[in-house]
Amino acid sequence: MTQPMEDTAGFALSPGALARIDALAARYPTKASALMPCLWVIMDELGWVPPSGIDLLVEKLSVTHARVNEVLTFYTMFRDAPQAKYTLQVCHNISCHIMGSKVLIAHMEQKLGVKLGGRTADGLFQIEGAECLGACGMGPCLQLGSHLYENVTPAKADALLDSLRKGIVPRADTDREGVD
């Protein structure tokens, strides 16, 4: 049986997560091919991939630190730093921009006291720009995990933030299974 892995930085994966990584590594003809699915295992458990998670994948998949970092930093769905409790991704691509995402982002920055890419001091909120959330006719759009909110106005954003402060994730216009 695989034992939980811990280090001085507090990195720990459950035996189940370690078993999933081992199973993924065995599933592919080349262990290195399991890199992205194994990153998801760590992300699912911790919400980000700490340096010790990179070390684990280097060991388990026989890849270099550079290779893990290439994949980890290239894809925006992977995180290499702890995240806020609620990461709000606001589409700022052309369709959403035309429909008001610039005004929405400015409003949220003012409301939360952080700039795009920033995290509130209490660690509750983080605002990120997204290139496209795939709902171009319903912009501006905001995504929170697998919840997609469409036609987001500053008032709708305020209501969302107020609900999240109470620990309530309001019903989204669209829920995307398997995204978060």
Range of the domain at 130: 86-175
94 shares its domain with 158: yes
Segment 26-59, tens digit of pLDDT: 999 999 999 999 998 998 888 899 999 999 999 9
Low-confidence ranges of the chain (pLDDT < 50): 1-8, 178-180
**90 and 69, same structural domain?**
no
178 backbone φψ class: left, alpha, beta (φ>0; ψ -120 to 50): left
**134 and 171 part of one domain:** yes
3 contacts: CB under 8 Å, gap ≥ 6: 15, 18
Q: Which of 74, 107, 127 is the last residue of a domain?
A: 74
Q: Does 80 map to a domain?
A: no
The answer on 61 and 10 residing in a single domain is yes
CATH for 121: 3.40.30.10
Whether 22 and 69 map to the same domain: the answer is: yes
Residues with Cβ within 8 Å of 157's Cβ and at least 6 positions away in sequence, in order, are: 104, 107, 108, 111, 142
Number of structural domains the chain divides into: 2
Token pair 């592919």 is found at: 28
Same domain, 42 and 68: yes
- Tokens at 92, concatenated: 């700022």
Round to whole Å and give the CA distance between 93 and 86.
21
- Radius of gyration in angstroms for the set of CA atoms belonging to the chain, rounded to a whole number: 18
Same domain for 33 and 70? yes
Listed residues 30, 54, 74: the one ending a domain: 74
Residue 79 maps to a domain: no
Contact criterion met (CB below 8 Å) for 144 and 130: no
Residue 75: its pLDDT value, please?
Answer: 81
Tell me, yes or no, whether 169 and 144 share the same domain. yes
Q: What is the pTM of this model?
A: 0.67
DSSP string, 5-73: EE-TT--EE-HHHHHHHHHHHHHSSSGGGGHHHHHHHHHHHHSS--HHHHHHHHHHHT--HHHHHHHHH
User: Do 102 and 57 share a structural domain?
Assistant: no
Phi, psi dihedrals of residue 147, rounded to the nearest 5°: -100, 125
